[in-house]
A and B are shown apart, each in its own frame.
Chain A
């Protein structure tokens, strides 16, 4: 609750720091029933005695910079989530400091020394597998006693369901879970994931993943260097407004490039090059992919912290942003995407899925195959996509040519075709026979003998009421597609 350390806060009085929701509160206020993340109006009603102050994230970031620098001196590549919360990947540092406990104790000691000198500052340190578990390991740590979690899954299973609030961005789903008798993450993790996906959609799957210790849906991969963006200034920028303006432009350019590559960043590295002194670098992390506004805010806060603490002597001559962890492609917004439309559409699809069941809302992906029905891999909407059975990039000799039939029955449908000397002449359409005007084929479909398949011939039949893809196997004709 870094926001409580603001210098203009009245000493010794109950305090409530808010934006739309509660971001910080003193013990008296928390004892009155207020919790972090609670809507502001509700908190004010519960604690009318508290002094309410509006959060100033830029100022918090500037003051938090000294904490970040102190941790960074111990372990490189600190990732800031928000003022008051930072993650440190410790895999490399643990052997150096002689174990997780030793490292955590060292960090806690440094922070105590730094924050203890300030008014009301307290530092909590936790170590666990993954950011979500580590965040709650720290939250449940005692002052001066780091919480090093040995078994992350058991630790998560014992946590209250309310710990999901921060990641889910609301209470609605959590309230429903509680109403259903689910009170801990363990209760939630023991539920099967598919029904959750059908009832709650993507948020339900995310909650289940977090409760199961699977963490956010982040796909670390090598990022091509050119996806990063940078800007150089001949005249050093000393005005914060000028630097922030450049930062906003860079954020827009970065996300535009990433969208073209169908990815979005969960982590970015902001680097500022000062005229004098070494370059400054800071990693920012977000549970959701950064939007342009969210990224511009982070850049603004970070630059404000550097500029106002004289961290960039002589002014800034270069600014760059490099993306790190990227999210799954399905979560990306397109170049012209409208975020509110995406959210509304997801809600509508979740409602349709609730009505129809999980198999009622599906999404297809291209895969390899010779017949139209084989070339689509279906998966339920809102769930991780199934592995492709056949490589779409491989050559598929004998594949039915494009254009593809717009209607493809799930299974081949028997039809009646009349032949004359090996040439199709009529096809039965319901109760009437339609003459075949022309056709193409036959194209032999060589059997995969190892899969116990039979050989077949394919024809494209053209009648006065449309064209059809027909498969003939062992003297019987089947409908495989309608060119509708």
Chain B
């Protein structure tokens, strides 16, 4: 998952833990101490099953992540900018071997190619509900670009909509041409 803070990927990543939390504990690996479990609970993660692991030390980060991959079934991981590509590839291989569901959120310039089954890049987010001092934030739409094996190598763009509840909807799914204009 690639995108700057604000583009909506944290909530999306936490949402991916919701289903797994019905079976076993799930973990959010937080590198800044900012992840709020309240948002995760709103997306359907069971409160008693969500564990937050805080690691701001990029040297310890690979060890902590690999320890978690050895026993946890689903993790949302913030990846610090200074983590080496070979460490990430090793962790990717461990996750595949252990069949762990991992959502990696890059805090830097992205993730090395080939480690993710599905790569999501946030293109933008729009909010509804607030109107020059009136109302409140109510509904958002994320524009995402998906690539990798999960979409059979075809780059796709789609929008996801949610209202702060555990329901998220894919509201459009379009393939883009080389000029990056929607054609269908």
List the one stretch of A55-63, A74-82, A242-250, A344-352 in contact with chain B: A344-352
Q: A348-B70, A355-B60, A403-B163 are in contact. Are A438 and B130 (CB under 8 A)?
A: yes
Closest to B29 in A: A352
Residues B6 and A465 in contact, CB atoms below 8 Å apart: yes
The verdict on A284 contacting chain B, using a C-beta distance below 8 Å, is no
Q: Is B115 an interface residue (CB 8 A)?
A: no
Residue on B with the closest CB to A481?
B36
Contacts of B51 in A (CB 8 A): 349, 361-363, 381
Question: Which of the residues A407, A460, A464 comes within 8 Å of B5, measured between beta carbons?
Answer: A407
Q: Which residues of A contact B164 (CB under 8 A)?
A: 402-404
The A379-417 residues at the B interface (CB cut-off 8 A) are 381, 401-410
Chain B, 132-182, CB within 8 A of any chain A CB = 132-137, 140, 162-164
User: What sequence of 0s and 1s flags, for each residue 251-273 of chain A, a beta carbon within 8 Å of any chain B beta carbon?
Assistant: 00000000000100000000000
Q: Does B88 make an interface contact (CB < 8 A)?
A: no
**Residues of A contacting B32 in the complex (Cβ-Cβ under 8 angstroms):** 407
Q: Flag if B8 contacts A466 (CB, 8 Å).
A: yes
- Bound: A376/B47 CA distance, A: 11
Measured CB to CB, the nearest residue on chain B to A404 is B38
Give chain A nearest CB distance to B37 CB in angstroms.
Answer: 4
Given contacts A345-B72, A352-B64, contact A405 B36 (CB under 8 A): yes
How far apart sit A296 and B5, CA to CA, in the bound complex (Å)?
51
A345→B38 CA distance, assembly (Å): 22
Among A347, A364, A404, contact of B52 (Cβ-Cβ < 8 Å)? A364
Q: Give A362 to B55 CA distance when docked, in angstroms.
A: 11
Q: What's the Cα separation between A299 and B153 when bound, in Å?
A: 56
- A-facing residues in B5-30 (Cβ within 8 Å): 5-11, 14, 22-25, 27
A332 to chain B, nearest CB (A): 8
Neighbouring A residues of B40 by C-beta, 8 Å: 406
Q: Are B25 and A349 in contact, with the CB atoms below 8 A? A: yes
Most B C-beta atoms less than 10 A away, residue of A349, A365, A466, A482? A466
B27 closest partner in A (C-beta): A349
Q: How large is the interface on A (under 10, 10 to 19, 20 to 34, 35 or more residues)?
A: 35 or more
User: Which residues of B are found within 8 Å of A463, using beta-carbon distances?
Assistant: 6
B38 near A376 with CB under 8 A, answer: yes
With CB as the reference atom, state the residue of chain B lying closest to A378. Answer: B52
Query: From residue B26, how far is it (CB to closest CB) to chain A in Å?
Result: 8
Complex CA–CA separation, A441 to B23 (angstroms) = 40
Kindly specify which of A29-37, A45-53, A208-216, A334-342 makes contact with the partner chain: A334-342
Q: How far is the CA of A376 from the CA of B38 in the complex (A)?
A: 7
Across the interface, do A423 and B133 meet the contact criterion of CB distance under 8 Å? yes
Any B CB within 8 A of the CB of A287: no
Known contacts A366-B41, A376-B36, A464-B124; is-contact A484 B131 (Cβ 8 Å) = no
Most chain B beta-carbon neighbours within 10 Å: one of A262, A338, A465 = A465
Chain A residues within an 8 Å CB radius of B33: 409-410
CB <8 Å contact, A372 and B54: no
Given contacts A375-B38, A407-B34, whether A337 and B10 have CB atoms under 8 Å apart is no
Residues of A close to B134: CB separation below 8 A: 440
Q: CB distance A408 to B52 under 8 Å?
A: no
Selected contact of A484 from candidates B9, B68, B124, CB within 8 Å:
B9
Q: Which residue of A lies closest to B55 (CB)?
A: A356
CB neighbours of A483 from chain B (8 A): 6, 8, 11, 127, 137, 140
Nearest chain A CB to B1 CB, angstrom units: 11
A334 lies within 8 A of B132 (CB): no
Chain A interface residues (CB < 8 Å from chain B): 262, 329-330, 332, 334-338, 341-342, 344-349, 351-352, 355-356, 359-366, 372-373, 375-376, 381, 401-410, 423, 438-442, 460, 462-468, 481-484
Known A345-B72, A352-B53, A352-B64; further 18 A-B contacts with Cβ < 8 A: A262-B48, A347-B70, A349-B51, A355-B64, A356-B55, A356-B60, A359-B54, A364-B37, A403-B39, A406-B11, A406-B36, A406-B40, A439-B133, A442-B133, A462-B130, A466-B4, A467-B130, A482-B6
Which 3 pairs show the lowest CB-CB distances between chains A and B?
A466-B6, A403-B164, A348-B71
